[in-house]
Amino acid sequence: MEAPTYRTEPVSFARRGGRLSDRQQAAWDALAEKHVLDVPRLGTNTSVDPAYVLDTRAAFGRSAPLVVEIGSGRGEALVHAAAEQPEVDFLALEVYVPGVAQTLVTMRHRGVTNVRLLVVNAAEALTTMLPPASVHELRVWSPDPWHKKRHNKRRLVTASFAELAARVLEPGGAWRLATDWEEYAEQIRSVVDASPDFDGGEWSPRFEGRPLTRFENKGLSVGRTIRDVEAIRRSA
């Protein structure tokens, strides 16, 4: 049988290697079986079989509001939020394995249990893996700006991605975004403003639930401005 067509569009990330430190490996050995979800793949180790749908109730062992964070990095914002809201389930989509491992380190240190992580391409996850209207909040903090013009096509936040965000968010659910790259911030605002599925598109005050991360501090140290945008999913 002919193999299915795979990834006809450029992805918004570049895979990076990296060994786990002893501390990261220890946290991985202790927590990954429960907290790093395994999904059927199709093509690469960041893909997800389009026939697969995640059962979040089974993954978390309960039914609770679901917050999805795309590109969680080392987990600073993610674990902080999960510790502040133990009644909420947090699902992280991240392709950098050492970042996932470092998130487990921080979870272990803070005693956080309401986080699950997936090493997966976010666009694929939002297209088929997450059920429609299953997400209470979708968070995208500091997506890769792909600042060279020839690479702009790889940016995550586009009109087509807004459709995916609308697919998974419940009516009234929030799509929160932040970036310190001004030109990308303008693009994000334009995408949200043009979407028929969202209200919003203006600059928002800094989201109180997001701590100042190491990455954001680097941007501030070179004079960048962190821009927040909040969009609310319209009812059908």
Q: Which region, left, alpha or beta, applies to residue 204 given φ > 0 means left and ψ of -120 to 50 means alpha?
A: beta
144 tagged catalytic: yes
Write down the catalytic residue from 89, 144, 199, 228.
144
9: closest CA among 178, 167, 161?
161
For 12, counting Cβ atoms within 10 Å of its Cβ (0-12 exposed, 13-18 middle, 19+ buried), the class is buried
Q: What would the two tokens of residue 159 be?
A: 């009109």
29 DSSP 8-state letter: H
Cβ(122)–Cβ(148) below 8 Å: no
Give me the active site residues, please.
144
